[in-house]
Amino acid sequence: MYKAVFLDMDGTLLKSDHSVSEPTIAMIRDLTAKGVSVILVSARPLNAVLPTFQHIGLPAQTPVITLNGSYIVEREQPVFDVRIDLATTARVTELVRPFKATIAFYLQREWYAEVSDAWTAHEQRIMDVPLGIAPIGELIQGWKNRNVAPNKLMVMSEAANIAGIQQHLRSMYDGWLNIYPSKATYLEVMDTRGSKANAVRFVGERLGLKPAEIIAMGDNYNDVEMIRYAGMGVAMGNAPDDIKEIADFVTDTNNNDGVRKAMEKFFA
């Protein structure tokens, strides 16, 4: 019997217009009323997850997994907080610079970049916190003075460029950093402890759940590990074919109520 559902947001729970269908919301509320935990698992920062959390009406005590598993909160208080050290942050930034990509740095509820451009403007639409802008050296010094560091770096560029950046960074940091795309134009970089699978494991253990009691749904490469970890790993109909191949079940697309249809199948 499944006792929890872990849901990726973009491309999974959310439709292309970033909304959640009313039938899906009704299904989630029905499950939570019956004691099934429904937990959001997102590459987004907390500020960009909470509006959906609140709109759905998830119970206040429900954990929220953000920044690809690097930052987890319960009742808006952190229970898991994994960061990339500042030396590595600076080094990755310099390694990416020749590719002419934009990097955003996410620290819990804050975010920063060296420039404001079309990429950061797109992200600002889902953020209720203004972008902090400064050269990387100035950012690093400010974070050092506060004894903080990024939970996640997000490299944004055209798809063909992202593939080259991923290959380059992995050649340098494989086994030291988690580096994978969340979509064709976004490359996520975290500490190795920061992954959706580790986050699902962490939250599952806090809830007293075994992997066999967990369903995880996702649509992209940053979801692969949690799809594999869960007792029932579900790929969306809009997922790439190689992600569908590793899933236990493939549901409909995010724009056609795939999450609701999967829930109906497993909780009928």
Residue 93: CB partners within 8 Å, gap ≥ 6?
103, 114, 136, 153
Task: Please count the structural domains in the chain.
Answer: 2
Of 255, 257, 186, the C-alpha closest to 16 is 255
Of 226, 228, 222, 140, the C-alpha closest to 188 is 222
Cβ distance 207 to 35 under 8 Å? no
Q: Are residues 229 and 252 in the same domain?
A: yes
Strands 232-235 and 37-41: unpaired
Residue 99: CB partners within 8 Å, gap ≥ 6?
157, 161, 164, 165, 168
Residue 17: CB partners within 8 Å, gap ≥ 6?
none
Task: Identify the CATH number of the domain in which residue 91 sits.
Answer: 3.30.1240.10
Q: Are residues 97 and 35 in the same domain?
A: no
Q: What is the pLDDT of residues 45-55, one digit of tens each?
A: 999 999 999 99
What residues make up the domain containing 167? 86-191
pLDDT confidence of residue 187: 96
pLDDT confidence of residue 126: 83
Last residue of a domain, one of 133, 167, 191: 191
Q: Are residues 167 and 245 in the same domain?
A: no
Q: Are residues 164 and 98 in the same domain?
A: yes
Looking at the chain, the whole-number percentage of residues with pLDDT higher than 90 is: 94
Task: Please state, in angstroms and rounded to a whole number, the distance separating the CA atoms of residues 85 and 140.
Answer: 10
- Please compute the mean of the pLDDT values over residues 250-261 and round it to a whole number: 98
Distance of CA 127 to the CA centre of its chain: 14
Q: Are residues 184 and 199 in the same domain?
A: no
Task: Identify the CATH number of the domain in which residue 66 sits.
Answer: 3.40.50.1000
- Please compute the mean of the pLDDT values over residues 74-90 and round it to a whole number: 96
Q: What is the pLDDT of residues 190-227, one digit of tens each?
A: 999 999 999 999 999 999 999 999 999 999 999 999 99
Q: Are residues 199 and 66 in the same domain?
A: yes
Amino acid residing at 132: G
Q: Looking at per-residue confidence, does 143 or 183 come out higher?
A: 143
pLDDT at 80 over 90: yes
Last residue of a domain, one of 191, 225, 254: 191
Tokens 């952190």 correspond to 78
Task: Please state, in angstroms and rounded to a whole number, the distance separating the CA atoms of residues 16 and 10.
Answer: 8
Q: Are residues 60 and 112 in the same domain?
A: no
* pLDDT averaged over every residue in the chain: 96
pLDDT at 81 over 90: yes
Cα angle 130, 131, 136 (rounded to 5 degrees) comes to: 155
Please report the sign of the dihedral spanned by the C-alpha atoms of residue 74, residue 79, residue 84, residue 87. Answer: positive
Q: Are residues 183 and 94 in the same domain?
A: yes
Q: Are residues 102 and 179 in the same domain?
A: yes
Q: What is the pLDDT of residues 103-116, one digit of tens each?
A: 999 998 899 999 99
Last residue of a domain, one of 176, 191, 206: 191
Q: Are residues 27 and 157 in the same domain?
A: no
Q: Are residues 177 and 225 in the same domain?
A: no
Q: Are residues 121 and 166 in the same domain?
A: yes
